[in-house]
């Protein structure tokens, strides 16, 4: 290992142990910093570059290699944190990143399903089987509430309040919120509860989680992702659908049907309304499409 890659390894250990960052974040930092270290070594620097122009040269090379603005922005963010650590550790005296500008991030429109596609997707699970009932209940909950998949798989029995028509959700940063839930979704949850209770009784297990795997353990995000991909293939939906797509779809359909933006913000658990406003672009496109298709003089 070279001195530079040793320092990268030390920083990654710090990020994991001291900052408690996830494995995915650590892996992203590692990829960015090893690319930067490779550039530094090939350019013949004795240590990390101290001039902003040298870092700009690296970013230009990344751009020439076909990296998107979002990837470059992430790289700049990684380097900012890394240089701050280098200065705190007295490895470097100067932080040149204050003079490096990140490109504007590309705003990607969230993918949403049409109401017809949602109906097709919801019809895919074989509800003559226990697993199909679970899957139908989960899909109904995701579409009815707009909750994140991590929130759905963390639901516990006490979070469901059928008499009030609400679900208690623990979201990002342990922030709690109450979400309305449709009678239809609650009906499917009731059907699944009977199947789930029989499953636990047969296995001699107890679980507080609502959605379980076939072994009676908590359902994982990966399992939900695979399940949705399978049902989309069955339904002939060619869009790149993920569990988060149902969250986008929920918000889009509410706004298309006249929901207030602030209400949607509260249901989704967005701290900043600007995060929710991206859905207005989708609904405006929907309005334009409807106008184009229905106005008699076009």
* Catalytic positions, written as ranges: 148, 172, 244, 247, 270, 279
Q: SS3 letters for 91-153?
A: CCCCCHHHHCCCCCCCCCCCCCCCHHHHHHHHCCCCCCCHHHHHHHHHHHHHHHHCCCHHHHH
Exposed e or buried b for every residue in 91-116, given b needs 16+ CB within 10 A? ebeebbbeebebbeeeeeebebbeee
The CA distance from 210 to 168, in Å, is: 13
Cross-strand partners of 169: 177
Greatest Cα pair distance in the chain: 71
176: part of which helix (H) or strand (E)? strand 176-180
The angle, 0 to 180 degrees and rounded to 10, between the axes of the packed helices 183-203 and 130-145 is: 140
């Amino acid at each position: 290992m070279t001195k530079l890659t040793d320092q990268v390894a030390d920083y990654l250990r710090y990020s994991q142990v001291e900052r408690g960052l996830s494995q995915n974040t650590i892996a992203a930092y590692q990829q960015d910093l090893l690319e930067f270290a490779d550039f530094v070594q090939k350019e013949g620097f004795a240590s990390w570059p101290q001039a902003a122009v040298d870092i700009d040269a690296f970013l230009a090379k990344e751009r020439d290699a076909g990296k998107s603005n979002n990837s470059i922005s992430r790289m700049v963010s990684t380097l900012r944190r890394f240089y701050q650590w280098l200065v705190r550790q007295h490895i470097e005296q100067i932080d040149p990143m204050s003079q490096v500008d990140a490109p504007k991030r590309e705003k990607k429109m969230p993918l949403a399903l049409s109401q017809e596609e949602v109906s097709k997707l919801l019809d895919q699970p074989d509800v003559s089987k226990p697993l199909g009932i679970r899957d139908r209940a989960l899909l109904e909950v995701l579409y009815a509430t707009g909750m994140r998949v991590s929130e759905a798989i963390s639901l516990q029995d006490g979070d469901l309040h059928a008499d009030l028509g609400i679900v208690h959700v623990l979201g990002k940063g342990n922030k709690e919120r109450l979400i309305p839930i449709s009678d239809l979704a609650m009906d499917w949850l009731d059907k699944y509860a009977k199947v789930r209770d029989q499953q636990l009784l047969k296995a001699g297990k107890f679980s507080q989680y609502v959605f379980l795997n076939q072994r009676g353990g908590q359902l994982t995000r990966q399992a939900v992702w695979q399940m949705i991909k399978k049902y989309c293939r069955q339904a002939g939906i060619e869009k790149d659908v993920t569990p988060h797509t149902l969250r986008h779809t929920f918000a889009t359909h509410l706004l298309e049907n006249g929901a207030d933006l602030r209400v949607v913000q509260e249901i989704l658990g967005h701290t900043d309304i600007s995060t929710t406003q991206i859905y207005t672009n989708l609904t405006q496109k929907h309005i334009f499409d409807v106008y184009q298709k229905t106005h008699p003089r076009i």
